[in-house]
A and B are shown apart, each in its own frame.
Chain A
Amino acid sequence: MTVERQTMEVDIACVGFGPAMGGFLTTLSRAMVDENGLPLLESGVMPGMPLQLLCYERADDISFGVSGVVTRARSIRTSFPDLNLEEIPLVCPVCDEKVLYLLDPLGASRRSSGIRMMDTFAGMLSDKKTCSYELPYIPPFLSKHEGLVLSVGQFTQWAGSRLMASGLVQIWPGMPVSEPLIEQNRVVGIRLADQGANKDGTPASGFMPGMDIRAALTVVGDGPIGPVGQALDRHFGFPEGNHQREWAVGMKAVVELPENCQLKPGTVLHTIGYPEPEIFGFLYVYPDRVASLGIFVPSWFDSPVRASYRYLQHWMMHPAIWPNLEGGTLRSWGAKSLQESGKRGEPFLVGDGYARIGEGSGSTNVLTGSGLDEAWATGVQLAEGVAELLRSGKPFSRKNLEESYLVRRRDSWVEREGKEAEKARDGFQKGVLTGLIGMGLTGMTGGLLNLGGHISRPYERIPNLEDFCREKIAPAKVRELLKEAVTKGTSLSDTVMDQLGWPQIPLDGKLLISQQDALLMGGKVQAAPGYADHVVVIDPKLCDSCCPQLCVEICSGQALTYREGGGAPQFDREKCVHCGACIWNCTKPLEADGERCNIDFRAGAGGLHSAEN
């Protein structure tokens, strides 16, 4: 059905407002006016007016989402040389750093012989009370000395407010972008998501087709799972040898620490070893007894029932962590997919009419585990290039963008350090111990020596459920648990964890709460009516033979659930936190494209609804 759409013309259309877009718009807006505030760059679509620079953000506000980070903030500090940290809530200089190797006090986790050897060694030196071993030395590539702990949400809100106050940029939240507009391989703008639609996308009452926003330049900073970036990847492909096969879901919370907590603001704690060796953890302390904490569940954690929430709670209850948290209150919660392919996941960064920045452009450094400042830097680099092109009146062709933006990016520390880090995580394909050795090797030699290797697609790694459980759960019992979960629509990962020896979490209604309560009390998740479902199974027939359905188990918000009678899972968009874990956890590849699986993550409104993150 052809839908008539309204069109609007702007000079530059931007997709997504995160750190990268913050860097882009901050830098470009400064180039738009002179020291007296008089415009320097005239609009090509509204002659006589300043450049029409519009940014569309999917979430209900620009600061939503949960993410505390620790960053050296080099590029950010360059952009704001007089940065007054007191202007930004939840920011603090790093004052103390620790890396803890956590032993398993419960004996429930799956540990290889190599990890058990590490446990033995660490056990001899460990603090018995906290069941952990503090690394006596933090290698330089992991150190965040002179860095900042900050809240991405509060930082983007601060940056966004400054931009809006300038009057030079328009930022529109609550406006998901459904796709790029491509004509003869040139990106000519974007299409906004339809409003007033049914779940299946068909028009409902009050249907308003998404407007086409045409622009000479489209800047795409919609993150690692953004639909516009994904559409560009599908259309233009990836450079030879590049792919996005490495992911993690970061599930995080902001916690009000108990009054007796001794942790100082600026404390940075990273953990390895527990609740599973594959799962890393972090805790960053802000001022006023607030902390950001969480875990990362990676795509090389080879479990057919991997899930995040209960693991997060077990991590919080570890003897090394819990004394700092007991009696605290959950303030917010959420989850997000992280693109961990880094430089290897870099798509085509420019083309006729478009440019990519931020995490979706492969800017994350997978050795240091840092992405915020790198993303900001890519935005700055693009803005400098764009300003140069605008001043010289040159069009936004691929060639011109290569010569203005790409040159800057390739010449920057982001590229240099990203290249060094490129193979840092390859060792994890073979196991945790190999991965840690590989990271160390890469880090200590500046990328000269690596434990490289073939990177499997996530679905290629997932074992059969019975094989996975065989050591502790008999196959017949596994089949029984599976049948029960599918019939009752309950979590299989929970029941498997019960059987594997993980104790029930003692819920206290304040900090340790049920996953649904976390969704509501922590994430304040909601979704406005009138939008189509944004998580869509591409070929439902493929789901008939999929059991257990890992997309259901990993779903951070329990928005995907087993369908009675089998088949494609059901999706409740009002619970979706837009983490995107479903797309890389699906175990059914498409016949036409082995890099892509059977779930499409489209433009959608709503999701996490908290700025305390």
Chain B
Amino acid sequence: MDGGYHIVVCGSIVPDPLQTLAPVEGPTGPSLKNEMMLPAVLDPWAGHALYEAAHLAKNMPGSKVWLVSLGPKQKLQQLMMSIAQKVSFELVVLDGPAGGFTDPCEVASVLAGGIETIQGLDRSRLLLFGGCASASRDAGVTMQMVGEQLGITDQFLGVDELVVQPDGTLKILERSEGGQYQVSVCAAAPALLAWATGNLPEPPNNPQIGMANMRTVMPALQKALPAKVGAEGVSFLSVELPKQRRETRIVRDMPPDEIAREIVDWIKG
């Protein structure tokens, strides 16, 4: 494609999955205990989308990548310390809650509104990327609604691969049932791709990318638009952690078959 793509990635923070999470009831509804203290990471699926975007941009001269992120400004700033070292992008910040106790439609409206403020965005070259779901809410509908609000009707969900073919069409692999892929060919942008894991590894940290990104990331954080997002009118009947059992043993020289047998017995028990 002449002039490359304008790739807008929607992605925000989620609590680091290694942390111990506990729901608590607050004045405005449920939230996570000590959420502001917990380290945050870029939502894993959005992360894959971002890395795929960067990979595509690198191979399509003239392309540009934006990351549109709805979350508490202070936490996004922390997140940038790790993400901004990995791939080049321009940041658009929407300052609001990023927890899972929000309404996807409101989130989609805010994101779409944020995208519409991007100066110089060429809709004819627009590829809208995001995760197929988020690790916070996991509604699995937000990106579709963002796309609808922006008038993007070519939508692909659970994407693992995007290939720009020699004739400029987009060949897209979407996950379907039974471990199979549905292969589609999309004539051209604009299109929405909600990514699963893709096939790319996490990029290494690159100080030069970090340095270049910081020139735009800090001003973007300072210009953050306030975003009103919540779950007004929604009442949560209950919030609980999945039940879990845990037992850790270190063994040496145990054959894998025996380990597998022991694990199966433990699961059945």
What is A's interface to B at a CB cutoff of 8 Å? 6, 8, 52, 54, 56, 60-64, 89-90, 154, 157, 160-161, 164-165, 167, 170-175, 192, 195-196, 206, 208, 211, 213, 331, 488-489, 509, 514, 516-517, 520-521, 524, 526, 528, 530, 558, 564, 609-612
Contact = CB atoms under 8 A, between A and B. Distances in A.
A520 B39 CA distance: 16
Contacts of A64: 39
Nearest to A522: B20
B139 interface: no
Contacts of A90: 37
A134 B6 CA distance: 69
A192 B204 CA distance: 12
B250 A558 contact: yes
Please name the 5 residue pairs, one residue from A and one from B, whose CB atoms are nearest each other, closest first.
Answer: A524-B18, A167-B218, A195-B204, A516-B248, A208-B204
B263 interface: no
B34 interface: yes
B38 interface: yes
A174 B207 contact: no
A170 B253 CA distance: 47
A6 B19 CA distance: 36
Interface string B199-240: 001101111101100100011011000000000000000000
Contact of B39 (A52, A61, A331, A530): A61
Contacts of A6: 208
B148 interface: no
Contacts of A60: 39, 82
A173 B210 CA distance: 11
A175 B205 contact: yes
B20 A331 contact: yes
Contacts of B102: none
Contacts of B250: 489, 516, 558
Contacts of B206: 208, 211
A175 B36 contact: no
B85 A172 contact: yes
Nearest to B210: A172
6 contacts: A63-B39, A170-B214, A174-B82, A489-B252, A516-B250, A524-B18
Interface residues of B, number: 36
Nearest to A213: B207
Contacts, number: 104
Interface stretch (B46-54, B73-81, B159-167, B173-181): B73-81
A564 B248 CA distance: 22
Contacts of A509: 246
A258 B252 CA distance: 37
A520 B19 CA distance: 10
A383 to B, nearest CB: 21
Interface string B18-44: 111000000000000010111100000
A62 B248 CA distance: 29
B16 interface: yes
A516 B247 CA distance: 10
Given A173-B82, A514-B248, A612-B34, A161 B207 contact: no
Contact of B16 (A157, A195, A609): A609
Contact of A206 (B74, B201, B207): B201
Contact of B248 (A63, A192, A520, A528): A520
Contacts of B38: 611-612
B220 to A, nearest CB: 11
A90 B38 CA distance: 13
B221 A175 contact: no
Contacts of A213: 207
Nearest to B79: A61
B218 A192 contact: no
Contacts of A61: 39, 78, 81-82
Contacts of A8: 207-208, 211
Given A56-B207, A164-B77, 6 more contacts: A161-B74, A170-B214, A211-B206, A213-B207, A514-B248, A609-B39
A174 B34 contact: no
Interface centre among A54, A63, A170, A514 (most CB of B within 10 A): A170
Contact of A175 (B20, B85, B219): B85
B19 A524 contact: yes
